[in-house]
Chain A
Amino acid sequence: MTTRRLVVALGILVLAAVLGAAALIVRYGESDEAALAPVDIGGPFTMTDQYGATVTEQDLLGHPSLVFFGFTFCPDVCPSTLAEIAAWLDELGAEGEDLAVYFVTVDPARDTAEVLGQYVGYFSPRIVALRGTTNQTDEIVASYKAYAKRVDMGDGTGDYLMDHSAAVYLMDSKGDFFDAIIFTATPEEAVAKLRKLIAAS
């Protein structure tokens, strides 16, 4: 019995060592890229805003930005977050006037430019809605290491929901990832992060 326990314990130790080494190798394997971009969020995209203008990663340069992924069929997280963003902008006032805000739809099939324009305009005229083709949407989702997946409701109505990343990405004036604000952040925490972003941009 004791010998068996010892063998099991040794086995676990060996396994842990192997896994640890593997994790190190994976980390080192990635380190070349990681050295260039500490957190590899952000990158190329080509989308269209609610007014019909093309917006690319170049438009993020020279000012801080917020990027948030969502869809208008979403009743809870998306409108709550957009309402919070509008409140943050109010709180920042003139201090936040250079801050650009992008709402990226992960559901271009249902979210037309017209629907999006009405939707974001309700929260703040400062919010720019970005929409793309399926390929363009896939590209920006990949660039931001975001996640978007269609989930059919399976009730015969054809309705579906989208699982998606719920964090607000803070991008600096070089277009690099600076920080993120998660859904559960308090207004004070959020505004403090935005002040840091603005100061660094």
Chain B
Amino acid sequence: MNRSIALPTVRRDSQRIHGRLTTPRVLQGGLLLLLLAVVMASVGIGAVGISPAQVVSILLQQIGVDLGVSFGANQSGVLLGVRLPRVLLGVLVGGALGAAGAAMQGLFRNPLADPGLIGVSSGCALGAVLCIVVGHAIFPAFLDQFGMYALPVAAFVGGLSATLLVYRISARSGMRSVSTMLLAGIAVNALAGAAIGLCTYLATDAQLRNLTFWSLGSLAGGTWRTLAVVALPIVLTLLLLPRFARQLNMLALGEGEAAHLGVSINQLKWRVTGLCALAVGASVSMTGLIGFIPLIAPHLVRLTIGPDHRYLIPCSTLLGAVLLVAADLASRTVVAPAELPIGIITAIVGAPFFLWLLIREQRIA
């Protein structure tokens, strides 16, 4: 008789929740490691290869520590001048999109609320495009006042208007109806698309090149300068959004129940919408329209650890960053030395995922 068979860990098993793969803590740790790995891979892979050891020693050399690992001057230049700002921009923007997706799905009480699908991103894009093309003619004072922040501010205003419009329309039927919300999003997307199209006729050649980059998105504009512009609004949002996690949990029970539990619904609505528009606006103004990450990241997190917003928002932030940096790496390497727009990569992965979600929702209902 074999006596070495381990007894089943009964207590553990009974504590496990059906449909949850792991605990929030494990997922957070895993995502942090994954993000580090993706960042290392992304800064190392390209026309000039840089090994992780070289990456670390180049960075440490900047603060005067010599590890004794040899690297070329061109490697150091590529890492510090080109790849690092680009990858960090990916981390910030990906994190902002993931967090904004989680928060908006909570606010709309609807897992299909995605800034891209419901028109927020295109609202941001319209704001930014108007600023590029007709800004100098119409608001020269505004441009002078805000300087390099003019673009993110314009994107923010556009995104906020689009969100509030869609929210008002879909709130009419009491509950946030999915179909109304998505239809309103289609209309807003179409309207913004048409307005952006009109702008291309007014645009100069240089402006036109800028505009094409909006429609598909890219991290190629990532420099230390753009990083400095988007860092403030995005970091602010990432710090503030988790504070609304408890109220979003209460809102999940229903607007009436949330009010009974002490939530000021209107205040919550304005603050969360404002923060999301700020983060998405800043992102879109620097990288153009990058779809599906705000949809996918929170969904994958919910499938793993459940819908508690206290963990959902930070984990979606990390996963959004991982996904965008990985998508950027793919966009640079798949057809190297040329570069694919990142929106193509996220759509190839994201659109089938979205379809799968729709089929799954139908099966549950």
Question: Real complex partners, A and B?
Answer: no
Interface, chain A (partner B; CB < 8 A): none
Interface, chain B (partner A; CB < 8 A): none
